[in-house]
Each structure stands twice: as C-alpha cells, then as structure tokens.
Amino acid sequence: MKNVLKFLSGIVIIAAASCSGNGSKSTADSDSTANYSSNSTDAAIDSNKKELKAKDSTEVKADYEYAVKAANGGMMEVELGKLAQQKAITPQVLAFGKMMVTDHSKANTELKGIAAAKFITLPAILSNDLQKDYDDMAKLGKAEFEKAYTDYMVKDHKEDIEEFQKEAKDGKDTVLKAFAAKHVPILQHHLEMAQNASDVVKNKK
C-alpha cells in the first residue's frame, strides 16, 4: 500500500477481539485523541517506538513501520472497492472492486490480529494523501471514475508488491515476514486483474 507520510488525527490500539476486517473507518478512544495533537501515522509510529524501547530492541522497527503502511493501504483498497461498487458500470471493474473488498478485508483482519498479539499500534483512518485520493475519485463521473480507479489500482499494486516482497525477504519479525510472503502472490493476482480491467475500460467505445 502507498507509503504513508501523514495521517488524520487519532490512533487506535487494535484489540484482537475487535477485528472487524471490513476496512471501515473506526473511532479511537476519545481521551487518547483529545490528548494527542499529532496525526495518526505519527501517533502509531511513536507508540511503536515506545514499545520497542520498552523491549530494549529496535531490530524490528522496519517491520512495525511496514505493518502501519500495510494497514493504511489495506483500508484504502477496501474503501475504493466499495466506491467501485457504487460508481462502476463495467462488469470487470465491478468484479474487481468486489474482489478488493473481500480479499483486503480478510488481509486487514489477519494483520490486526498479528498487531494485537505484538502490541503494534495500527492506524484507524486513512492518511491525508490517501483520503484526498479517495475524495477526488468520489467526485468523478462513472466513466471517469472507472479509468481513474483502474489506473490507480495498477500503480498501487505494483508498489504493494515491492513493499511486501521487501518485507518477505528482509523482515526481522518472523510473523510479519510470513504474512508478507503469503500475500505477495495474492497481490500479483490483483495486479493482473487490475491490468485486465484497465484494458477493458480503455478499449470501450
């Protein structure tokens, strides 16, 4: 999922029992958000740094950052997939959007469970840049949306595959490393389907 620079306000510490896996935006504890003036990416990263310091280890810092980025990207895939169900008119695009909701909801639930077990703080809401991308696409007409969405999905999944492959190869946390390796072929399939959908849209008369 796309690299995260900034998130909106609020953090959430994911509890295993609360994993919904639907990618919907959730609310963080009101006291926590009231007392934290930064954005959710900074909050998540800061919380994870404290956890690592408490363990007297920074060996898995990159793994924790990967988890935060993957969670943000996973939410985006689900939200855009839902939007595609509302705006798309081409069967291939509708089918792709539905697949994104199904597959990434499952992946999000799995990642939340891993994060809960490792006390990793994940973001509850989309980063500012991804939220803007979502809002921009939500404003488009049906035909314009289909082209923008499929192009976005092709580019996004190429980036996702690189990030997941890197974690699968270089990760220090064995569980997150295995999670990444498991999802690389799934993301490769998504890329293939996104490219097919994009070709159909571009060739429409």
The structure tokens listed for 54 are 């408490």
Query: Within 10 A of 124 (CB to CB), how many other CB atoms are there?
Result: 24
φ, ψ of residue 39 to 5 degrees: the values are -95, 175
Give the separation between CA 20 and CA 13, rounded to whole angstroms: 14
Give the separation between CA 67 and CA 179, rounded to whole angstroms: 10
pLDDT grade for 149, boundaries at 50, 70 and 90: very high
Above 60 in pLDDT, residue 48? no
Above 50 in pLDDT, residue 13? no
Each residue's pLDDT tens digit, 50-79: 554 544 455 688 999 999 999 999 999 999
Residue whose tokens read 């008119």: 89
**pTM, two decimal places:** 0.73
- The pLDDT, as a whole number, for residue 56 is 43
Computed over every residue of the chain, the mean pLDDT equals: 81
For residue 74, give the amino acid letter. Answer: G
Instruction: Identify the CA nearest to 167 among candidates 71, 50, 54, 79.
Output: 71
> Where are the domains positioned within the chain?
16-202
CATH topology of domain 16-202: Ferritin (1.20.1260)
Give the separation between CA 163 and CA 73, rounded to whole angstroms: 11
Average of per-residue pLDDT across 129-158: 97
Query: Within 10 A of 161 (CB to CB), how many other CB atoms are there?
Result: 18
Q: Which residue has the higher pLDDT, 12 or 84?
A: 84
Instruction: Identify the CA nearest to 115 among candidates 27, 21, 38.
Output: 21
- The pLDDT, as a whole number, for residue 204 is 83
φ, ψ of residue 12 to 5 degrees: the values are -140, 135
